Structure 1
Amino acid sequence: MPTPEITPGAPCWIDLMTSDTQKAKNFYNALFGWSYETGDEEKYGGYITAWKNGKMVAGIMQKQDDMGPMPDVWSTYLRTDDIKATAEAAAANGGQVFLEPMEVPEQGSMAMVADPSGAAIGLWQFGEHKGYQLAAESGAPAWHELHSKDYENAVAFYQKVFGWDTSVVGDTPEFRYTTLGAGDDAKAGIMDASGFLPEQVPSYWTVYFAVDNADATVEQALALGATVIQPAEDTPFGRLATLTDPTGAVFRLVQDVNLKG
């Protein structure tokens, strides 16, 4: 599989902020077959890169004690070619800047912002690190989805701030869904979650990992200490399941990657 083509505004990287890096490494190694490299402590804060079949697929980092009660979480990063301008545009269009743009030596630049619905989304400007090298294959990220309580403003935000060319997949009270790109070229989705997200749960981005067999992977994940939030079920977009890893970070599985309408 060739390295995925990552256009500006599209998802380009994922990483896990975890309270227990060793537990996370063991879990995803057993579940997805990942191997790891740990970056220099002084230069990169011990950032861990996950690899699948010799290609980078994700990052893992230790949650700092001063972060308070923040849950363990998977984050999606969108590519930008001008991270400072994108962060400024996010603030000017109803978002917030959680982490100002900062350079990661030699690798690129990162920032973290929130969209108008409160969902955190990462920004990444390429340096030597040009995003994940494997996608939509077993054990690699397959799809990125925003569950938003402020759907219309969220769609407008990603159009204005990241230049998304969007396509409406569904527009009924039961299923409102917009994608970045259309059909087979779609790269991410925004779902109207106002009807089902509990009041205490904020809008959030979620990552789907491709698997060959969703049911077998769920069974394996349970044996490794995961918790099932939504059992595997057939949908028009493949067989999907939602779990949390052993420290509580939410992730999703998709079998038969056909999330693109």
Structure 2
Amino acid sequence: MKANLDFLALHTRDLAAARAYYTRTLGFEVAQERPGAVVFAHGGGAEFAVREPLPGVDGTQPFGVGVSVWLGVPDAEAYHGQVVAAGARVVQPPQDGPFGRMFTLVTPDGHALTFHQTE
């Protein structure tokens, strides 16, 4: 038996601010909202969400330490320009990487998101 990635949720201390960041700054579309979570539309594969911390998770500690989430985009350079213009904090500028052109930003909650070119 093996497991398949089915759902990814990143914790946030401020769900409304995270929803605004992912929609306004990164251009994601909301697929649905659940109590304590916002799920974003995706092109295929696993669903992606931001959510309030699960019970038992220490919300005072930094989120995102030691985790990097990779997301595919058709044009990494164009998307980089779009998110920078919207105020994203890029920590690794566009460059060639193991999966093609890529760059990394850090969300206000400290999550590293790497966007790589898929076409």
Which interval holds the TM-score relative to the shorter structure? 0.7 to 0.9
Gaps of 5+ in 1: 1-6, 74-201
Distance verdict in 2 for CA 1:225–1:213, change over 3 Å: same
2:15–2:37 contact (8 Å) kept in structure 1: no
* Partner SS for 2:116: strand
In the alignment, which of 72, 83, 87 is matched to residue 225 of structure 1?
87
> Which has more radius of gyration?
1
Gaps of 5+ in 2: none
Structure-2 residue corresponding to 1:38: 33
Task: Find the aligned partners of 1:52 and 1:68 in 2 and give their Cα distance.
Answer: 27
Structure-2 residue corresponding to 1:48: 38
Q: Structure 1 segments of 4 or more deviating over 3 A?
A: none
Q: Deviations over 1:197-230 (max 9, x none)?
A: xxxxx7x332111111212222222233321111
Structure-1 residue corresponding to 2:2: 8
1:1-261 counterparts in 2 under 5 A? 8-30=2-24, 31-39=26-34, 41=35, 46-52=36-42, 57-63=47-53, 67-73=58-64, 204-256=66-118
Task: Find the aligned partners of 1:223 and 1:72 in 2 and give their Cα distance.
Answer: 25
Structure with the bigger RCO (C-alpha within 8 Å, sep 6+) is: 2
2:73–2:117 contact (8 Å) kept in structure 1: yes
Q: Normalized against structure 2, the TM-score is what?
A: 0.75
Q: Normalized against structure 1, the TM-score is what?
A: 0.38
Q: CA deviation at 1:242?
A: 1.1
CA RMSD of aligned residues (A): 2.9
| Counterpart amino acid of residue 34 in structure 1 | E
Between the two proteins, the alignment pairs up a number of residues equal to 116
1:14–1:58 contact (8 Å) kept in structure 2: yes
